A and B are shown apart, each in its own frame.
Chain A
Amino acid sequence: MRAALGSALGSAATSLLAVAAMVAAWEGLVRGLPVSPDLLAPPSAVLEALLRHPDILLEHGLATARETALGFVLACLAGVVPGALLSTSALLRRVAMPWVLALQIVPKMALAPLFVVWLGVGAPCRMAFAVFIAFFPVLIGTTAGLAGTDSGALRLCRVLGASWWQTVLWVRLPYAVPQLLAGMKTAATMALLGVVIGEFVTAQQGLGYVVMFAASLGETALVLAAIVLLCGIGLVLYGAVLLAELGFARWYGAPMPAGEFG
């Protein structure tokens, strides 16, 4: 555990270094080459934009963060409950899964305007769209995790006379949680994406709106500042799921049954 944490920290340090190198190269390139700062703002200008418009960015950032967090929680619920239902019946899976999968093939982010028609331009529209975009990985994680429990473990439970509830609580659930959490990680990114696209389409408030507005004014630095904040929101949400994963691993107290992480 500790060694894993250490190597994780080490790789995080390498990643940070590489990202820092990219930022430095970006600053150097923009300064060295005769590029207009309106076209590609250097990192220093982005920082300045962050400091210059704290009120706008804070107000819209909080709106986006609130809608993303709520959308994420709702998406998890909307994924776990039907996912658990689907895992109970093979017939249900045969009927519903092809449609759920078909929904993933189509470019469903393009369906945002429909939500505007149904729910108007307010927060409910963006949150509903975020749920629509983000529930799928959670659903798949839940179904695959619950249905994919090691059959040997299940047979052992039956032989030992475990009740249905005991099997679910102590065998199926621990098997499902790693995949559920992997799905939630994807859902965290997707929920943010859903809210941002919703903000593009509704053009009412939020960082997506700031991005659109600043881009139309040619204020590249402000666009990038808003995107930096968006990344921050995404990383916080992703980090929260990561923490939940660590907490679960500690509670479980053994290597996770499924090896699929990240």
Chain B
Amino acid sequence: MSGSALPLPQRLPLLPLATGLLALLLWELLVRWARIPNVLLPSPGSVAGSLWLAAPQLAWHGLATGGAAVGAFVVAVAAGLVLATMMMLWPLVNRLLYPNLLLFQLLPKVALGPLFVVWLGIGLPSLLAFAVFVSVFPVAIGMLTGLRAADANQVRMCQAAGGSNWQVFRHIRLPTAMPYGFAGAKVAATMAFTGATVGEFISANAGLGYMVMQAQAKSDTPLIFAALAVLCLLGAGLYAAVGVAEDAARRRWGTRR
């Protein structure tokens, strides 16, 4: 796979960190020197001020969005794993579901957000359901691809040695599928936050997305930046947690690749 030609950040990405700090500095200087109004582009300093002033609200709304997203992520991963396993074990389920899964993959799923509000009202249930709906597909498709990627020779070998279907699944298919499943879970982590936030854009009474829309209505751009910074941090946190879980799982079960 030539995708591995891309350099992944090693232990401590000093160079990019330095560039990032430099960019922040330039941004601050640019805003001060060109006297760009705060409404248009707030300086990093004023965003930091906003973060500090609005810390209690940010924490509360962040907890609402973070809780919804993490909950949706857990449900989506569980549902995706179950779906993929069922599709692997029963060909009929696969034939029924797979084309529909692919169709949903092409469909602009986020556009269905308002329907969830019609069905479940404004509030946590519709938000959760929408975020699960948006994030379940990458897990299901990734996991299914992984389960199918098992080496056919190994499977035949195992069967010839009298391995049961379950043993083939547990000892050959599952370890092969793990990296794929985690890749899907990483996409799902981002999508869960996307779903939760877009859901809050559409209609909500709490959460960072709601806060962003409120701040936008008041033209409080520094607060928009602050809320989005918190959101990005939370999203990156869940992503990093999946990465840590993947490392742990690899060390524990020692998969190839």
Name A's B-contacting residues (CB within 8 A): 14-19, 21-22, 38-40, 90, 93-99, 101-102, 104-114, 116-118, 140, 143-145, 147-148, 179, 189, 192-193, 196-197, 200-201, 207-208, 211-212, 214-216, 218, 220, 223-224, 226-227, 230-231, 234-235, 238, 258, 260
- Give A99 to B22 CA distance when docked, in angstroms: 13
Secondary structure call for the B interface:
helix
Chain A residues with Cβ under 8 A from B34's Cβ? none
Assuming the contacts A15-B102, A110-B194, asked whether A148 and B2 have C-beta atoms less than 8 A apart, the reply is yes
Residue B239 at the chain A interface, CB threshold 8 Å: yes
* Residue in chain A with minimal CB distance to B236: A105
What's the least CB distance linking B171 to chain A, in Å?
Answer: 27
- The residue that B231 contacts in the complex, of A96, A107, A211, with Cβ under 8 A, is A107
Contact A98 B118 (CB under 8 A): no
Chain A residues with Cβ under 8 A from B213's Cβ? 113
Contact B113 A200 (CB under 8 A): yes
Residue B142 at the chain A interface, CB threshold 8 Å: no
Assuming the contacts A215-B114, A215-B118, A234-B108, asked whether A112 and B236 have C-beta atoms less than 8 A apart, the reply is no
- Give A34 to B60 CA distance when docked, in angstroms: 40
Secondary structure call for the A interface:
helix
Contact B2 A118 (CB under 8 A): no
Residue B119 at the chain A interface, CB threshold 8 Å: yes
| Highest count of chain A CB atoms <10 Å: which of B2, B9, B16, B115 | B2
Residue B117 at the chain A interface, CB threshold 8 Å: yes
What's the least CB distance linking A68 to chain B, in Å?
Answer: 10
- Give A227 to B100 CA distance when docked, in angstroms: 16
- The residue that B103 contacts in the complex, of A19, A38, A117, with Cβ under 8 A, is A19
Contact B99 A95 (CB under 8 A): no
Not counting A110-B197, A113-B215, A227-B112, a sample of 17 additional A-B residue pairs whose C-beta atoms are within 8 angstroms of each other reads A15-B102, A19-B99, A22-B100, A93-B6, A96-B19, A101-B9, A106-B231, A106-B232, A110-B212, A110-B231, A111-B228, A114-B225, A117-B224, A148-B3, A201-B201, A216-B114, A260-B1
Interface residues on B, range: 35 or more
Name B's A-contacting residues (CB within 8 A): 1-3, 5-7, 9, 13, 15-16, 19-20, 39-41, 95-96, 98-100, 102-103, 106-108, 110-115, 117-119, 190-191, 193-194, 197-198, 201-202, 208-209, 212-213, 215-216, 219, 221, 224-225, 228, 231-232, 235-236, 239
Assuming the contacts A18-B96, A192-B108, A260-B1, asked whether A109 and B197 have C-beta atoms less than 8 A apart, the reply is yes
- Give A40 to B116 CA distance when docked, in angstroms: 11
Assuming the contacts A215-B117, A234-B108, asked whether A107 and B96 have C-beta atoms less than 8 A apart, the reply is no
What's the least CB distance linking A195 to chain B, in Å?
Answer: 9
* Residue in chain B with minimal CB distance to A145: B2
Contact B3 A200 (CB under 8 A): no
What's the least CB distance linking A15 to chain B, in Å?
Answer: 4
Chain B residues with Cβ under 8 A from A145's Cβ? 2
Contact A107 B16 (CB under 8 A): no
Q: Can you give 28 contacting A-B residue pairs, CB < 8 Å?
A: A18-B100, A19-B103, A93-B6, A95-B19, A96-B16, A97-B6, A101-B9, A102-B236, A105-B239, A106-B232, A107-B190, A109-B194, A110-B198, A113-B215, A114-B224, A116-B216, A117-B40, A145-B2, A147-B5, A196-B108, A196-B110, A207-B111, A208-B111, A215-B114, A227-B108, A231-B107, A238-B106, A260-B1
- The residue that B115 contacts in the complex, of A22, A193, A215, A230, with Cβ under 8 A, is A215
- The residue that B96 contacts in the complex, of A21, A101, A144, with Cβ under 8 A, is A21
* Residue in chain B with minimal CB distance to A140: B6
* Residue in chain A with minimal CB distance to B69: A107
Chain A residues with Cβ under 8 A from B197's Cβ? 107, 109-110
- Give A14 to B106 CA distance when docked, in angstroms: 17
Assuming the contacts A106-B190, A220-B118, asked whether A147 and B6 have C-beta atoms less than 8 A apart, the reply is yes
- Give A144 to B6 CA distance when docked, in angstroms: 6
Chain A residues with Cβ under 8 A from B118's Cβ? 38-39, 215, 218, 220, 223
Contact A231 B228 (CB under 8 A): no
* 5 closest cross-chain pairs (CB), A and B: A148-B2, A215-B114, A15-B99, A106-B232, A18-B99
- Give A221 to B5 CA distance when docked, in angstroms: 48
- Give A105 to B13 CA distance when docked, in angstroms: 16
What's the least CB distance linking A82 to chain B, in Å?
Answer: 14
- Give A200 to B41 CA distance when docked, in angstroms: 23
Contact A18 B2 (CB under 8 A): no
- Give A54 to B242 CA distance when docked, in angstroms: 46
Contact A212 B193 (CB under 8 A): no
